[in-house]
Amino acid sequence: MKKKWLLAVLTTLVIAVLAACGTADEKETTSGSEGPADGGDKKTLVVGTSADYAPFEFVDTATSDEIIGFDIELIKTIGDKLGYEIEVQNMDFNSLITALQAKKFDVVISGMTPTKERDKVVDFSVPYYETEQYLIFDKEKGYTTPADIKGGVVGAQISSIQEEIAIELGEANGFKVESRNLIPELIQELKTGRFDAAVIENIVSENYLSKNDDLAAFPIEVEEPDYKAIVFQEGSELKAEFDKVIEELNADGTIEELKKKWFVVE
């Protein structure tokens, strides 16, 4: 009788240990790097951004170290609609697509404009915002056209659409182009006189203009409108569901409300 009782106890212990091992294995698989992690009822999407681009994505160091901005609230709104938790990670802009291809991110949102070259390696959502480009410079220089900068140096962010525009303008107007990783670095180079001007989009430029009375800007003419879109790994199933929600948020006025909230230049 004692032997039977002991055997029953041992059997119960073995089953319990195996069940515990199975639970541990399941947790390791669902939180692995091959896809979104399972956060209970919601899956977590890892979102890449470059948090140097106020008001789209930035850190207000006076209040916290949290990444905030128009793009960040938009991606979280989409996540809520689709039942995803959003985890935002910061990275230099020029590394975002490479990291997305390497599956370090599920999605990228960083004020990015679709281009033919980018479209060869990633997929883009429908547009969520149309933008203009500005040439920003020291007000004392009094520039009115790109031709006024002949012989000078113009800055742009590495791997951005603004870098491509600056290079085209430089070839047509006789100035050199130098690139930097971050937008604040471009502004600093303007302040120190290293750059004569920089190509930065309108909303971002206007935020700097509002805080720097010594800077001025004018819009640059481009052949085709510039749009911002969310970026996905090639063939990602996320694109279709994100496209649907973006169109809904455009139709119901949510995106317009986010613009009013974040695009206020004081």
Whether domain 37-128+229-262 has CATH 3.40.190.10 = yes
Is the torsion defined by CA of 185, 133, 86, 69 positive or negative? positive
Where are the domains positioned within the chain?
37-128+229-262, 132-220
The architecture (CATH level 2) of 132-220 comes to 3-Layer(aba) Sandwich (3.40)
DSSP state for residue 53 in the 8-state scheme: B
Do 37-128+229-262 and 132-220 agree at the fold level?
yes
Angle at 253 between CA 250 and CA 256, to 5 degrees: 85
Can you read off the two tokens belonging to residue 83?
């039942």
- With vertex at residue 225, the alpha carbon angle to CA 219 and CA 230, rounded to the nearest 5 degrees, is 110
Residue 58: CA atoms inside 13 Å, Cβ hemisphere, count? 17
For residue 26, what pLDDT band results from cuts at 50, 70 and 90?
very low
Average pLDDT, the chain: 87
CB 184 within 8 A of CB 178: no
Instruction: Give the tens place of pLDDT for each residue, 173-227.
Output: 999 999 999 999 999 999 999 999 999 999 999 999 999 999 999 999 887 778 9
Pairing of strands 42-49, 84-90: parallel
pTM listed for this prediction? 0.78
pLDDT per position as a tens digit, 36-87: 444 456 799 999 999 999 999 999 999 999 999 999 999 999 999 999 999 9
**Distance from the first to the final alpha carbon of the chain:** 85
Predicted local confidence at residue 3, as pLDDT = 42
